[in-house]
Chains A and B, each alone.
Chain A
Amino acid sequence: MDKLNGETVSILLFFVGLYGVVSRRNIIKSVISIIVMETAIILFFLTIHFQEGSVPPIGENLSGAVADPLPQALMITTIVIGIAITAVALVMANSVYHKYGTSNWRELMIKRREDDHD
């Protein structure tokens, strides 16, 4: 079971998300796939420098291995950005659906092209 650690899982999850954006034609599913990719990155960051038994980097005179605090700080930022992006993307998806009456990328492209030729 050594192979089944955070890194391999997150790499797999990332490509699941990438498969989602490539193959799913629904806008909402695309947004979900993007969130899956982001979650994979967060998992990857949190596991890369993980050491068993390391202590939190708080206080003075720490003994033993100290956990790397940087990934956590970075990932909080990523989560916040992810929320903002999801919110904006969903609002936009909603407005696209209202304007075009479909949430399928292919149909949207065709309707958008018809707009141009009017």
Chain B
Amino acid sequence: MIDVTLYLLIPVITGTVLYLSNSHHVRRLALLVHFGLFAAAVQGFVYVKTHGAFVTSLGQWGAQVGIYMRVDMLSMTLLMLTAFMFAMMLLYEYNSTHTNQLYLFLFMVLQALVSAIFLSNDLFNIFVLIEVATITVAILIMFKQDRQSVYDGIVYMLVNIVAMNLFLFGVAFMYRTFGVLDMHAIGSKMHQIQNPVALIIPYSLMITAVALKSAIMPLFSWLPKAHGTPSAPSAVSAILSGLYVKTGVYLFVRINAMFAGTLDTWQFFLMVGFITAVIGFLLAISQKDIKLILAYHTISQIGLIMVGLNYPTDYAFWGGVYHILNHAFFKSTLFLGAGIVIDVYGTRNIWEIKGVFRKMPAVALASIMAVLGITGAPFFNGSISKYLIQSGTSGSVVEWGILLINLGTIISFIKYSTIFFGSSPADCQSRSQVDPWKKLSLLVMGAMCLIGGIWGQELIGLLFDQVMTIGVMTQLEKSVTYAITLVAGFVIYKQFVLKTNLFYKLSLFELDFNGICLSLTGFMVAMMVWLRVFVV
């Protein structure tokens, strides 16, 4: 039997110890503890795989009364991902000078909170965890307290709190209807509901909050600022963009599973996901700040994940889930790499950074592996998940949509890749020294992109118990498609993107706090209308 509470307690205790003493010995110990935690997560996964899902009661109360943690394959996979990512971030920050005690403490607390969100099965518990995580993340964003990050932090925090208020109101309606807060119990009582109209309001309230958490259209305005704020440590940006935003997607899956059979909204979210992906890459292309390109690109990838999760075939769904993992690897590699590049060059403007490959080969190599992963190059992890989504949707118009999204991804990363080539400005010609710990963690994360591609089929079988076959012929066919898309992307980039003024205008598009709240309300109303007209 695995004691899941340890996965939550150990990071908090480690963080507290680090807060008390930040000497090198303690840091080494913390690093060891984190790799141990990852090993424990793997062990837990093996347990779940052989024994099946299990529940743990906190406080020894009976079923449907106490707070329950439900552990199944999906939550355990994401827990492994969390443990791995945070171990890598700690490795990355091992020698950093800016990491003081408070920073490491908050970072470890965030790890515990994210793990708890993945394991928790109680709606109110999830609300509490997300509220605390919101405060933690807001403090981490504005950690250096300069002008820009203070604004980014307060917008992030207030917007998320408004959204979580909607969530809590939805939970109140659920409690009124069902009398329990346990997601699994609610799911099993769902068929007893005679009149699904009563569920429209709670569903819309909760799903709006979750949609804002996962930053889908039109609720994404807070994300680029929060994830790409100039002064935030790059490990924070990497965790936020790679992992934390996935808690929203995960809750989306869980809540929809809870309402399955009564309220099915896959058409709505398929559409919204597609629009999110397109708008995301358009905005990504229009940025010139390298961190913002990556942050906007996260939105686009979330859109792709949403398309996969909501298309009603197994292939597309598991492709979407696999893409959650893949996106965590390549996006955090890119953010960490971008952080090092920004430190060395002293600028975030993409046109002023040239020749990273010559200057920092290891960083460039890891970043290029991540770029190949994110654009879905053959033998990299992105190709597997994109292929699964695509073959799951084959024969419908969605398949073409995915090709379009991939074209946009490629164009935005052609723009991003310009930083690797060319020659550096005269004043920084020589090779620059990068901290070996940072290199190590970057290269490991980059290698994960390749591993996830080469053994993609096996990994999916291992992690999700799904048999997906990808033949040699399809690999070949995919490579041809990729090459064609790459050429098309290159031509469009040279002939259109560089010459038009449209993208500059797009980059000025932004909502203030009131605008985001208005779009939140609008999304909620749209959800209610959609449910009333098309579903119930």
- Residues of A whose CB lies within 8 Å of any CB of B are 14, 17-18, 21-25, 27, 30-31, 34, 37-38, 40-41, 44-45, 48-49, 70-71, 74, 77-78, 81, 84-85, 88-89, 92-93, 95-96, 99-100, 105-106, 108-109, 112-113, 115-116
Residues of B within 8 A of A77 (CB): 124, 128
Contacting pair A45 B175 (CB below 8 A): yes
Alpha-carbon distance between A31 and B135 when the two chains are bound, in angstroms: 14
Alpha-carbon distance between A37 and B205 when the two chains are bound, in angstroms: 13
Alpha-carbon distance between A100 and B147 when the two chains are bound, in angstroms: 7
Min CB gap B276→A, angstroms: 22
Alpha-carbon distance between A31 and B159 when the two chains are bound, in angstroms: 11
Contacting pair B169 A115 (CB below 8 A): no
Most buried by A among B135, B165, B521: B165
* Apart from A17-B165, A22-B518, A96-B150, 10 more pairs, CB < 8 Å: A21-B514, A23-B514, A30-B513, A45-B172, A84-B135, A88-B138, A89-B154, A96-B151, A99-B147, A106-B514
* Closest chain A residue, CB of each to CB of B139: A88
* Closest chain A residue, CB of each to CB of B201: A11
Kindly state whether residue B343 has any CB partner on chain A within 8 Å.
no
Contacting pair B157 A109 (CB below 8 A): no
Provide the B498-518 mask, 1 if CB < 8 A to any CB of A, else 0: 000000000010101110011
Kindly state whether residue B158 has any CB partner on chain A within 8 Å.
yes
Residues of A within 8 A of B514 (CB): 21-25, 105-106
Within 130-187 of B, Cβ neighbours of A (below 8 Å) are at 131-132, 135, 138-139, 142, 145, 147-148, 150-154, 157-158, 161-162, 165, 168-169, 172, 175-176, 179, 181
Contacting pair A100 B151 (CB below 8 A): yes
Alpha-carbon distance between A99 and B146 when the two chains are bound, in angstroms: 8
Kindly state whether residue B289 has any CB partner on chain A within 8 Å.
yes
| 26 A–B contacts, CB within 8 A, in A order | A18-B162, A22-B514, A22-B517, A37-B162, A37-B165, A40-B169, A41-B168, A41-B169, A45-B172, A49-B179, A85-B131, A92-B153, A92-B154, A92-B157, A95-B142, A95-B145, A96-B150, A96-B154, A99-B147, A105-B513, A109-B510, A112-B147, A112-B148, A113-B508, A115-B148, A116-B148
Alpha-carbon distance between A60 and B142 when the two chains are bound, in angstroms: 52
* Known contacts A48-B172, A48-B175: A92-B513 contact under CB 8 Å: no
Residues of B within 8 A of A96 (CB): 150-151, 154
Most buried by B among A22, A23, A27, A44: A22
Which one of A23, A45, A89 lies within 8 Å of B158 (CB-CB)?
A89
* Closest chain B residue, CB of each to CB of A36: B165
Residues of B within 8 A of A31 (CB): 158
Residues of A within 8 A of B131 (CB): 81, 85
How many residues on B have C-beta within 8 angstroms of the other chain's C-beta atoms?
Answer: 37
Contacting pair A85 B521 (CB below 8 A): no
**A interface secondary structure, majority:** helix
Min CB gap B177→A, angstroms: 9
Alpha-carbon distance between A80 and B162 when the two chains are bound, in angstroms: 16
Contacting pair B157 A88 (CB below 8 A): yes
Which one of B124, B135, B176, B518 lies within 8 Å of A85 (CB-CB)?
B135
Contacting pair B162 A92 (CB below 8 A): no
Alpha-carbon distance between A49 and B138 when the two chains are bound, in angstroms: 35
* Closest chain A residue, CB of each to CB of B177: A48
Per CB-CB distance, the 5 closest pairs between chain A and chain B, nearest first, are A109-B512, A48-B176, A92-B154, A105-B513, A21-B517
Alpha-carbon distance between A93 and B176 when the two chains are bound, in angstroms: 35
Residues of B within 8 A of A84 (CB): 135
* Known contacts A25-B514, A81-B131: A92-B147 contact under CB 8 Å: no
Which one of A27, A37, A38, A71 lies within 8 Å of B154 (CB-CB)?
A27
Residues of B within 8 A of A81 (CB): 128, 131-132
Most buried by B among A31, A71, A81, A115: A81
Residues of B within 8 A of A18 (CB): 162, 517, 521
Contacting pair A41 B151 (CB below 8 A): no
Alpha-carbon distance between A87 and B154 when the two chains are bound, in angstroms: 12
Contacting pair A34 B158 (CB below 8 A): yes
Alpha-carbon distance between A14 and B162 when the two chains are bound, in angstroms: 11
Contacting pair B150 A49 (CB below 8 A): no
Residues of A within 8 A of B128 (CB): 77, 81
Alpha-carbon distance between A99 and B514 when the two chains are bound, in angstroms: 20
